[in-house]
Structure 1
Amino acid sequence: MTETRPREHRKGPVQLRGKQIPDTTTDERLLSDKDGADWVHSDPWRVLRIQAEFVEGFGALAELGPAVSVFGSARFRPGDREYELGERVAAGLVAAGFAVITGGGPGVMEAANKGAHEAGGTSVGLGIELPFEQGMNSYVDLGVNFRYFFARKTMFVKYAHAFVVLPGGFGTFDELFEALTLVQTRKVRQFPVVLVGTDYWSGLLAWLRDTVAARGAISPADLDLVRLTDDPDEAVRLVVEGVREMRSSEQAAAEEAAAAELEDDVTGTTGTNGW
C-alpha cells in the first residue's frame, strides 16, 4: 500500500510543512552508516540533542505523580471494541489515582487519553517523529514530542508504576517485551504488566509457555510477570494490587536495610576498617 506524504511534520520542537518535510527521520539518520567517517564530526552534536530530549522529558514529567503507561494499536477507531476498552481502562485508572501515559497518537492511544481526560485525570502523550506523521491527539493535556525512540521509551518506563497493554502491533510488542526484559533482568523494579484481550493475547502467551519456556529460553516463572484479562475493571484492580504489593516490598526492603545498618552501628562494624 502506498503511503501519502504527510501535510505536516513535527521534528522535535519544530513544525514543518510542504517541501520542508524531510525524507528521513532523526532516528534513521542516527542509525545510518552512509556517512562513513563523517559521524566522528556530527555525532558529538547529536549527543547534545539527545541530552536535551532527556532533560525536556524529565522536566515535563518530574512532578507527574503515580502514573500508568497504556499501549495499543494506532489503527483502531471509535466504535471498535479496543477503543472502548482503552477509554474504560483509562477512566478506571484515573479513579484509582493514576495519571495515564500513552504514545499520544490515534487509536487505542487516543482512547486512553480521552478516557483519562474526560474522567478529570492527567492525560499524557509522548509523541515521536515518524515518516508519516500521526500527530498528538486532542485529548492530551501534557504532551512531549521526541525525535529518538530510546529517549521516549525511557519516559514510558521511568514514570510508570504499571503497564496496561491492549491489542496492538509491532510498536506495542516492542514496549511490552522491553518492559518484561527490564523486569526480568532486574534493571527496573517488578511493576505490574496487564494484558487486556484474552482472544488477542492467548496465542502469544501459549507460544511463550509451550515453545519458549519449554525450550529453556525463558524460565516458566517469567510468565508470572504478566496478567491477562478481558475486563477493564479487573485490569485496574490488578494494577492497584500490583502497585500496592510493589510498594510493600520496597518498604520492607528499606526497613531491612535500615535495620542492618543499625546493627552494624551497634556492633561497630561500620567504616572501611570495620571500626
Structure 2
Amino acid sequence: MLQDGVITEAVSREVARARDLGHEVMLATGRAVSMTLPVAEKLGIQPEYLVCSNGAVTMRRDPEAPLGYTRAHVETFDPSVVLTALHERLAGASFALEDEHGHYRYVGEFPTASLGISSERVEFDELLGVEATRLVVLSLEHDQEEFLGIVEQIGLHKVSYNIGWTAWLDIAPDGVNKATGMERVREWLDAPQSRVMAVGDGRNDIEMLEWASVVGRGVAMGQAPDEVKAAANEVTATDHEDGLAAALATLN
C-alpha cells in the first residue's frame, strides 16, 4: 500500500493469491481498530486476528459482532507521568490518548483523519489519569534528534516508544509492540515461527521485523529507514515499485 493509502492492482492480486493458497494474511498496524478494518476490507481479507494500536489491541473475528471483530486482548497504562513530563518540555506539542475502544481524547492539532472516526478535543488536565492503549505526541517544531534528546532526558520508564517518520512519537505500555501482538497471535494459531513472514517500513515495525527474522522472514520495504532495514533479514523494492507484491509473490 502506498503512503497515500492506494492499494495497487499488483498488491491486491498477490494478497488474494496468498489468501487463496491458505496463508493467514493479516494486519499488524499502528492504526486504531476503526482505521484498520477498512484496510482489511480494501484488501479483501478477513483474518482471524488483527493487531492494532502497535500491539496494544488484538481483535478476533466474530461474525456476530457489530464490526465483525471483538477485542481478544487489550493492554493499557496510565501515561500521566510521561504525559506531564513531555508537556513541560515540548511547548506547542499536541497530545492524544487512545482508549481500548479506539476513542481518542486530544489536545492541540492533528492531521485530518489521523485519529480515526471517534475523537474529542479536551483540556490537557482531562488527559491525566486516563487508562490508554497509547499516547501520541505530535510536535512539528521538533525534529527526530530533538525528540530523542528529550526522551533521553526524561527517561521513559514503564513504557515503550517509537519515533515515526516525522515529529511523531508513539508511546505504548511497557514492552508492548507489534512483535508482542504477533507472537500472541502466532501462539493462538499454533503456527510455526519458521512460517512467519512480516513486512514493514516504519520504525514501529523494528521489533516485529526482528521477531520474524529469528527463524522466519522479516522483510523491510525499500523505502524504509536504514535502522528498519537493519532489523530485517530481507529487503524488497519500494512501495512505488510494488515491493510488497514482490515479497508476497515468493510465497507458495
Report TM bin, short chain: 0.3 to 0.5
Give the structure with the higher percent helix. Answer: 1
Please report the TM-score for the alignment, with normalisation by the length of structure 1. 0.35
Please report the TM-score for the alignment, with normalisation by the length of structure 2. 0.37
Answer with 1 or 2: which has the greater Rg: 1
